[in-house]
Chain A
Amino acid sequence: MIHVALPGRDIIITARQDATLAGALRDAGHPLNTRCGERGSCRGCMVLLGPGVYTDLDGHRLEMAEGAPPREERGCRWRAQGAVVITVPAASLLESTGRVVDEMQLPPFTPASPVAQQPLPHRPNRVQTTLQLGGASHRVRVLPAGVVRRALGVAIDIGTTTVATALVDLADGSVVARAGGYNQQNQSGADVATRIGASMVPGGLERLRRQIVEETLNPLLRELAAAAGCHRTDIVALSVAANTVMTHLMLGHPVEAIGRIPFTPLFRHFPVVTAAALGLWAARGAAVACAPAVSGYVGGDITAGVYTSGLLCDQRPSLFIDIGTNGEIVYTEGGRMLATATAAGPAFEGGGITHGCRAMRGAIETARLAADGALQLGIIGGGRARGICGSGLIDLVAVLRRAGVVNRVGRLQPGVAAAMGRLHHPPDGKERGFVVVPEGASADGPAIVLSERDIAELLKAKSALRAGILTLLDEAGRSPADVANVHLAGGFARHINPENAVAIGLIPRFPSATLRFLGNSSLAGAYLTLTDPAAWETMRLLADLPRTVELNRCPTFEDHYIDSLMLPGDEEDEP
């Protein structure tokens, strides 16, 4: 029996024999952030061990006495022996209530219904529904004549971290319901590289397939149907846009080859299959189309996004940038296209940051310094802060840099922070930080601190993206000044302050570009595949256009990466 102090409330759970604390919490519906796939190599699932007896995976025994200071350990490494008391900090929970972005922006298009009803030849009392999807016609259901049923489709964006869906009435293209949630593959690791690793162990591929189909998509499909008051068999079309690894895993295809040179996926163009073949909760004959991928690391979500952006119709140098756990960058100039992917890691989604969290209720999402020097924080949902999400992190570092609290390499200037009364300086002298929310003023009680280590994590993430952009421009023979359009896609990008993104060097300054935020362009592309007759064929051609650039093979990447690690500032103190 485990007594668990969650943020704001306590619960009692029972653990399966041999279940780790992380496993027991997951079974109880409170999954921890096991972003390394429970390998014990990250600090996502840290919990505080209180009174009781524990054993770790190597069999070491630990007895915590009543009244002893709790010990911070990884939830994936320890098991409870009998009754124990543990505390789970907010930052360690894989919050199931995060903000999943499903705002879509659509380009102008001429909608047309992909469904048609005709009597079956030789059986005039039966009517068949045919669906145009993925470049072919599919017979998706047969009904008795006179029975009128809706024909619905679902647009699905599968991100590495989050999944967004929209239920679409195929008769008129209207969105009748929306649902979103976390990708349950998070349990198997936070990024595509870890998931590829997880797919290679015996039974791993099937586990990942089940996590996405049965534990993520099917509950969302049921939720959509319940919201719209429709039946399972009314769902006759599913259009999926996802990165190449996610698409393969949903279809049950191996992904090993994407993990090593030359990173070639099994498929770039995916055959249309039936919902029954995949085990998806929809009409058995429903057709499932997946957006074609450019390469192993530039997937159908990017094909869908670039199509949605309309950049193909602009002859000027333009960039499409999808900021997430992986950053994908596409350069277009008329028909000429270059594409690349860069591993930013989970910092933008709160991963690896001491008080980091996803963009959930209680997350600090904005920060600014008022004229009187006071730090003003914007908190999702109002109330007290629980942690810092990606956009808040960017704002904070930009603000601290402007105020001279941090130098160019992200080190705190203790005097400046102390003068503001915000220096966090623990007795051991390590993990110095800036107090964002003082003790007692946060939702959970303890102070919310941005440590120097956290800033270093952000520097690594943002330099990966900025270096990727600059290297791709080098490959195109262009500079940021040449770029006319910058389209930023992805849930995270929707909420960042562009001025601060430039101020911390997340993206270069584009002096003559028009900046546009596309929102979830992957979902938008999946939606257009259902409703825009031109979408599929154009995406099919588009996926074959870009030349894929492998950043690690580019001579300028390392230099750009190290340059981009620094926070922009006065030229004099440039290292």
Chain B
Amino acid sequence: MPRVEELYNAVLAGQRKVVNELVPKLLAEGHEPLSLLNESMIPAMQEVGERFSRGEAFIPEMLIAARAMQAGLAHIEPMLVGKGHEPIARVCIGAVKGDLHDIGKNLVAIMLRSAGFEVIDLGTDVDTEKFRTAVDQHKAKAVLLSALLSTTMTYMKDVVEAFRDRPEVRIIVGGAPVTQEFAASIGAHGYGKDASDAVRVTRELVMAG
């Protein structure tokens, strides 16, 4: 089925109310949920991500679009259960222990979903035990760690250590104070400088390994 321009544009412009009304209407008209997701919503979110990477869109627009996407996903995701919808991979994400900031982490999560990943969002203040349990339970291929404070980002090292015996699990870090150098120094496999970049790095690492 082709792209529904109205839905594509509504996600692109972050029109949450429009998306929230349009998706149930389209579903009632017989549109396939998977088609709406793959043909209209995901391409819109990808376009937002690409504009961001090109410096043509900024974080406020991304957050606004992500929220509209979320509103649409809320209608579509329940209908995909058991429909044989295969994600690229399952990944876990969380803000590390001591850190309560989740707006940036939520943006990365929605961008990952828009890129075809199944995302297990562990929330904020997540300790190593919770990361390990979730990875085991969901057979996740990667773990994304977020921290917004220089005081909490040091905990990322503990998480990397905790996965020492699981080298097949890729660890990607990000957040305002986190740098490429820091990521390398704690032995993380990847570093995402922003939400778009985090998706790119996760895709590369998961595909490679």
Contacts and interface: CB of A to CB of B under 8 A. Distances in A.
Given A552-B124, A562-B67, A409 B151 contact: no
B106 interface: yes
A553 B103 CA distance: 11
Main secondary structure of the interface of B (DSSP, over half): loop
Interface in A502-530: none
B59 to A, nearest CB: 6
Contact of A565 (B13, B63, B97): B63
A196 B149 CA distance: 9
Interface string A193-204: 110110010000
Contacts of A459: 60
Interface string B30-61: 00000000000000000000000011101111
B182 to A, nearest CB: 10
B151 A197 contact: yes
Given A41-B177, A456-B58, A566-B64, A575 B151 contact: no
A561 interface: yes
A1 to B, nearest CB: 31
A523 B16 CA distance: 45
Interface stretch (A253-261, A273-281, A394-402): A253-261
B61 A411 contact: yes
B146 to A, nearest CB: 12
Interface in B5-25: 13-17
Contacts of B150: 193-194, 196-197, 200, 259
Contacts of B186: none
A550 interface: yes
A527 to B, nearest CB: 33
A430 B56 contact: yes
A541 B32 CA distance: 62
B99 interface: yes
Interface string B146-157: 001111100000
B197 interface: no
A456 B63 CA distance: 12
B151 A562 contact: no
A116 B102 CA distance: 55
Nearest to B106: A558
Contacts of A193: 148-151, 177
B58 A260 contact: no
A553 B100 contact: yes
Given A41-B179, A575-B14, A200 B151 contact: yes
Contact of B15 (A256, A411, A453, A575): A575
B72 to A, nearest CB: 13
Nearest to A409: B61
A562 B63 contact: yes
Contacts of B106: 558
A260 B152 contact: yes
Interface in A431-475: 431, 452-453, 456, 459-460, 463
A260 B151 contact: yes
Interface in B101-128: 101-103, 106, 124-125
B98 interface: yes
A89 interface: no
B100 A552 contact: yes
B183 interface: no
Given A558-B106, A566-B64, A575 B58 contact: no
Nearest to A189: B150
Contacts of B54: 430
Contacts of A200: 150-151
Given A260-B152, A261-B97, 7 more contacts: A41-B177, A259-B149, A430-B56, A453-B58, A552-B101, A565-B64, A575-B68
21 contacts: A41-B177, A193-B150, A197-B150, A259-B149, A259-B152, A261-B99, A409-B14, A410-B58, A410-B60, A430-B56, A431-B55, A456-B59, A456-B60, A456-B61, A552-B101, A558-B103, A562-B63, A565-B60, A566-B60, A575-B17, A575-B68
Interface of A: 39-41, 193-194, 196-197, 200, 256, 259-261, 409-411, 429-431, 452-453, 456, 459-460, 463, 550, 552-553, 558-559, 561-562, 565-566, 574-575
